[in-house]
Amino acid sequence: MESSNLKEAEGAMKGQKSNTHQEAETASTAKEKKLGSKVGSVSNKELYFRADKIDFKSWDIQLENHLSRAWSRDREVQPTRKEEWEIDLGKLDIRHVISYGTYGTVYRGNYDGQDVAVKVLDWGEDGIATAAETTALRASFKQEVAVWHKLDHPNVTKFVGASMGTSNLKIPSKSSSSDSVNSPPARACCVVVEYLPGGTLKKFLIRNRRKKLAFKIVIQLALDLSRGLSYLHSKKIVHRDVKTENMLLDATRTLKIADFGVARVEAQNPRDMTGETGTLGYMAPEVLDGKPYNRKCDVYSFGICLWETYCCDMPYPDLSFAEVSSAVVRQHLRPEIPRCCPSSLASVMRKCWDANSEKRPEMDEVVRLLEAIDTSKGGGMLPEDQSTGCLCFTPARGP
């Protein structure tokens, strides 16, 4: 009796489920027809899954793998857009080392048929710079390049291009094998500029230390440097490391400003530009003293370079860094101007290295002052072999 009742109940439930399912299918079909939609192209039957039987973890893994492959294909199809200053390292042929520096090496090379200098920056030995420091240096490099590639002046080294990576760069090894090459660290960057065969102004002055330079050449070099700095300042750029080592000469002895390793766009607020950036003997007092500074620090450094070019000598050769720093700031120490130096040129030197930065002339005014100097009557520093009895550095007598 009970068995018969159970069978009848099960039959009733099956009938009810069947009727309910048929009603759902009928409603669904009517809805699809009403919307004029198609569900699939293979079968009109709907497929249902039991939620408790679905492995959602497996779905997540499969979805992640699929998206990873899709994103990889997107990156391959749409490569990162290059900056307008980025170059094809495959066209760069590095030949030999020109010089070594703290954060990299300068090589001579050829890029697309042009003689170039290649500055490879690896930010020092592995482990010295932290990841954060390397990131900051790379960002600074990118900012430097973004400024440099827009510059165009006969007294500023011509920028060719740069690269934020060096994966395709082949650097000759120091080993005897001519086929051996070195690979720079992955973090390295490189900048390519025109090659200037005359070397640095510093080396040129050292070569002429005994015989000195003709006055006309002194003024020509000074004008080249002052015009280049005037141009940079017109673009709101402060070089911040003006010294004879950072000036290069081409085959015709035209001077060009180089090494923008510490150059940056001039800050609107002078207090945004602080810190001892530059080389001690050329630093303005406000820089040495850690005070805010602006483009006038370049004017001061130019004055020291002008003295050095005229004398073919180094400022403060017998003083330590600490002594120079203290004396320049507190005692107004400046290089001694030879008595044989024409007053017109001596006046430019003194104006440029005035302790009060506001009293220093702008570089375009310095250009005008130098252009007005008469070089036809000479006035250069006497050669050492002709300086017997020379009173160049003898203190003036009388009033």
**Which residues are known catalytic residues?**
241
Q: Are 317 and 206 in contact (CB under 8 A)?
A: no
Euclidean distance between CA atoms 240 and 271, whole angstroms: 15
Q: Are 297 and 233 in contact (CB under 8 A)?
A: no
Q: Are 370 and 347 in contact (CB under 8 A)?
A: no
Q: Are 151 and 235 in contact (CB under 8 A)?
A: yes
Euclidean distance between CA atoms 222 and 305, whole angstroms: 8
CA atoms 369, 375, 377, 381: torsion sign: positive
Euclidean distance between CA atoms 316 and 331, whole angstroms: 14
Residues in Cβ contact with 363 at an 8 Å cutoff, skipping those fewer than 6 apart:
226, 229, 230, 233, 295, 298, 299, 302
Residue type, 41: S
Q: What would the DSSP string read from start to end of 62-109?
A: HHHHHHHHHHHHHHHHSPPPPPTTB--GGGEEEEEEEEEETTEEEEEE
Pick from 359, 284, 296: which is nearest to 324 by CA? 284
